[in-house]
Amino acid sequence: MTLDTESPAGTRARRIAGLTETRAVRPESIAEAAGRRARRPALLGETGRLMIIAADHPARGALAAGGDPVAMADRGELLDRICTALERPGVDGVMATPDVLEDLLLLGVLEHKIVIGSMNRGGLAGASFEIDDRFTAYSAGAIAASRFDGGKMLLRVDADDPATADTLEGCARAVTDLAGHGLMAMVEPFVSRRVDGRVRNDLSPEAMMRAIAIASGLGATSARTWLKVPVVPDMERVMAASTLPALLLGGEVSADPRAALEGWRRALRLPTVRGLVVGRSLLYPPDGDVAAAVDAAVEAL
């Protein structure tokens, strides 16, 4: 079926199709769009909660969603799904790597939104060096120059992998640098280990308390640090491990979205939990209805 180019969907498809031409002919358009973007005056709005769409998975080579191993490989489709999510009431912003955020800047969909730059994507999924989460995307200075609102980093602590030390140091430096620019540092911590050669996160309450304790102490100040944590058993005890504000992550696409929503609702009652950062669960829901999935998550807030 041919899209009506005058319809909103047709207009968006045409603009997405034109991104490569813009990048090839006028690459300076990205900086111009960042410079004129209308920013939200405060991180938290009237609700005191945050609803952020996560879209930084492809840069780490993690393209799977649900049962499709390459669901996130089609960039045009991914951008269309992100745009749909950002249009929904109650969605505060997006977290992604430079390539995705720059496409969204050119599409003009980041006005008055909270924008978080993803920083360390070097621990490629399935690689022998996966725990070595090098800072291969945004730096704190680049995030500040783009007039964004913060930076996100992944911290997986594997006591048997010496590369953990470098990741700890890199995350500590990023926390300090972001705070120096007055920007949020979003730290996603896990205790991890290799099982049959693959990195697995330990989601037991005890492991998450240890991960949170380590993440909370990173950097020269924790004044701007937020945590990004999964919903695990005994969340009340887990979240008592820190006074830092926290956002819940969505993780893999759930076969039971209702159960996932109920888990978010219960955790959102805890005093340190201030919102959601969800990606694949909302962008690639089992029934394909992105708008409905986002609306249900917003309702949980």
Phi, psi (degrees; rounded to nearest 5) at 229 = -130, 155
The pLDDT value given to residue 6: 63
Decide: helix, strand or coil at residue 28. coil
Question: Does residue 79 come out as left (phi exceeding 0), alpha (psi in the -120 to 50 range) or beta?
Answer: alpha
User: Which pLDDT tens digit goes with each residue over 168-227?
Assistant: 999 999 999 999 999 999 999 999 999 999 999 999 999 999 999 999 999 999 999 999
The pLDDT value given to residue 1: 36
The pLDDT value given to residue 258: 83
The pLDDT value given to residue 253: 66
Report whether pLDDT(5) > 60.
Answer: no
| CA–CA separation, 195 and 211 (whole Å) | 19
- Label the pairing between strands 198-202 and 184-195: antiparallel
Decide: helix, strand or coil at residue 100. helix
The pLDDT value given to residue 2: 46
The pLDDT value given to residue 66: 85
Tokens read off for 58 = 């492809």
Nearest C-alpha neighbor of 280 from the set 16, 113, 60: 60
User: Which pLDDT tens digit goes with each residue over 125-177?
Assistant: 999 999 999 999 999 999 999 999 999 999 999 999 999 999 999 999 999 99
pTM here?
0.93
Q: What structural domains and CATH numbers belong to the chain?
A: 49-300 (3.20.20.70)
8 Å CB contact between 53 and 283 = yes
